[in-house]
Amino acid sequence: MSNYEYIVASLPDITTGWKFGEKGPQDYIEEIVSLCSEKDNELIDFLLSGYMDENLNAEFYSKALTHKDRFISEYFRFDLNVRNAKVKYLNKALERPAEQDVLTFSEDAPQAVLDAVEAEFEEAGELETVLNAGDILSRERGIDDLMWEKISDLTTFNYFDIDAILGFITKLNIVARWYKLDEQTGREMFKRLVDEVRGTFKGVEYNG
């Protein structure tokens, strides 16, 4: 039997004045991993491997875009679209060739990969607006806000399953990044994440 309900119930009860203290974001991920099954941890490992710069190549994205787990395939399709859009924006700003360093796939790539890449990027307009923000901090915050919204959309109807946990972990990584840059911002985003998850599970009448 899966421990999804227990995982959510074990999250800290965050208040506006709460601080990470001795436990950081990685500690929470490790706790989640310890409560998940071997099969679920394989998915978590794959997800986390997507945060390692050395893995972000065509081979990794080919596996991600065709992954059997819906959250992973859709999340990394969005991630790839965002990364490529950022590269194109920088190319334009630096007057470099438009496609320089854009991650692409050869014509003999699996059709499922090509279909995923060619699918409509619905958030392209929003992302373009964010990229044209006045300063780099606003751009980075805006991109992470879009990522956060996308994760929420992908897990809207996921309550007690692994995709809910994967969504939580991806949001936790966003929080961790901002926590390193700005403790106050990180703390606020972590509170937002926990409040969201607790509210979602209350909506399905979980009595924990």
Q: What is the pLDDT of residue 173?
A: 84
Whole-Å CA distances, 136 to 86, 130, 208: 12, 10, 42
Domain that holds residue 41: 32-201
Q: What is the pLDDT of residue 204?
A: 41
pLDDT, tens digit only, all 208 positions of the chain: 467 878 766 765 433 334 456 677 788 889 889 988 999 999 999 999 999 989 999 999 999 999 999 999 999 999 999 999 989 988 888 888 989 899 999 888 999 999 999 999 999 999 999 998 877 778 888 999 999 999 989 988 776 788 988 988 898 888 878 777 776 676 776 677 667 655 554 444 433 3
For residue 194, being part of any structural domain is answered with yes
For residue 112, being part of any structural domain is answered with yes
Q: Per 3-state DSSP, what percentage of the chain is helix, strand, and coil (rounded to 5)?
A: 65, 0, 35
Q: What is the pLDDT of residue 149?
A: 92
Q: What is the pLDDT of residue 70?
A: 95
> Distance between CA 56 and CA 80 in Å, rounded?
9
Tell me how far the alpha carbon of residue 72 is from its chain's centroid: 9
Q: What is the pLDDT of residue 186?
A: 65
For residue 179, being part of any structural domain is answered with yes
pLDDT tens profile 10-32: 765 433 334 456 677 788 889 88
For residue 145, being part of any structural domain is answered with yes
For residue 174, being part of any structural domain is answered with yes
For residue 26, being part of any structural domain is answered with no
Domain count along the chain: 1
> Distance between CA 19 and CA 184 in Å, rounded?
9
For residue 81, being part of any structural domain is answered with yes
Q: What is the pLDDT of residue 15?
A: 33
For residue 106, being part of any structural domain is answered with yes
